Amino acid sequence: MHIVILDGLTTNPGDLSWEPLERQGTLTVFDRTAPADVVGRAVEADGILTNKCLVGREQMLALPRLKYIGVLATGFNIVDVEVARERGIVVANVPEYSTPNVVQATFALLLELTNHVGHHDATVHAGRWAAGPDFCYWDGDLVELAGLTLGVVGYGRIGRAVAAVGRAFGMRVIHHRRQSGGDPECVDLDTLFRESDVVSLHCPLTPETKGMVDARRLSLMKPTAFLINTARGPLVVEADLAAALDAGRIAGAGIDVLSVEPPPASNPLLTARNCIITPHIAWATRNARRRLIDMTAANLAAFAAGRPQNVVS
């Protein structure tokens, strides 16, 4: 099998081995691929692997040898799965590989919003503590998590793991999912936004969830509440969130994903009040990226054996 990785740099910038994938066939790795170069680079490929390179109708129609698309991620909205299904192309993703990392990143963002560790570290290194008259100082409110309500939107593997850590902090947990199953913790979205002190997004991007966090939903939140998004940028209407932050309608936001990545300088969240932004790194520890490569190789091996797994097409 001839396998082409279109954008391998973020998965493996050189600190890991591609050897598990090399065992599956002839492997060609490109660090990055521009949209115009996808077809030219994959024209001889039986299988392509992509993280963020779009593989849509135009590309698939121009790649007659293509039998398999592996997504180097859990989200697979960069592949037109309907076209793949029509053409008999198997599309597989990699679930679960990043769960511990996303949970960790979720609380890293939340703890920065509540404890302001980075800000206080910067003031100490700038000399403020050494020059101060008291044994301590703090800027802004330091917020205790125990007793607060954590609202988890999306209650799959990651959402449940986030809820477990929230409970360990002494938080009350409520959540929203498509089917409640009679769970008393499961509430409708408006109730979740209204009652939560922290709203954390862990749902997939679908036509139904796109833009779900808009001005109306943000208006339901407490002025002391925080929004965390480590899921998908387009879940949030960014202009509405920036307006809510700047007006003090909510207390802050911790964001790891944006609607366009990398963001244009005009993205309103870049200058919004009390908005912490990290560059889509919730998935990116070395351990997680190693699991991603290993699980992608296992998907390929299963496909070659005629027993494809983690199929989303």
Out of 120, 232, 289, 291, which one is annotated catalytic?
Answer: 232
pLDDT at 116 over 70: yes
Q: How many CB atoms lie within 10 A of CB 299?
A: 24
Out of 116, 217, 280, 289, which one is annotated catalytic?
Answer: 280
Alpha helix stretches (DSSP H) within 139-263: 157-168, 189-195, 215-220, 238-246
pLDDT at 299 over 80: yes
Q: In Å, how far are 44, 82, 84, 142, 235 from 89, measured between CA atoms?
A: 15, 10, 5, 52, 28
Q: Tell which residue, 150, 145, 143, 151, has the closest CA to residue 170.
A: 145
* Structural domains of the chain in order of their starting residue, each with its CATH number: 2-97+286-304 (3.40.50.720), 99-277 (3.40.50.720)
pLDDT at 179 over 80: no
Two structure tokens written together for 8: 């391998």
* pLDDT level of residue 3 (50, 70, 90 thresholds): very high
Catalytic residue status for 232: yes
Out of 44, 119, 261, 286, which one is annotated catalytic?
Answer: 261
Catalytic residue status for 280: yes
pLDDT at 181 over 80: no
Region of residue 14 (left: phi > 0; alpha: psi -120 to 50; beta: else): left
Catalytic residue status for 125: no
Question: Cα(88)–Cα(313) distance, rounded to whole angstroms?
Answer: 9
Q: Tell which residue, 166, 167, 213, has the closest CA to residue 189.
A: 213
pTM to 2 decimals?
0.92
Task: Give the mean model confidence (pLDDT) for residues 252-263.
Answer: 97
* pLDDT level of residue 180 (50, 70, 90 thresholds): low
Residues 6+ apart with CB under 8 A from 56: 79, 80, 83
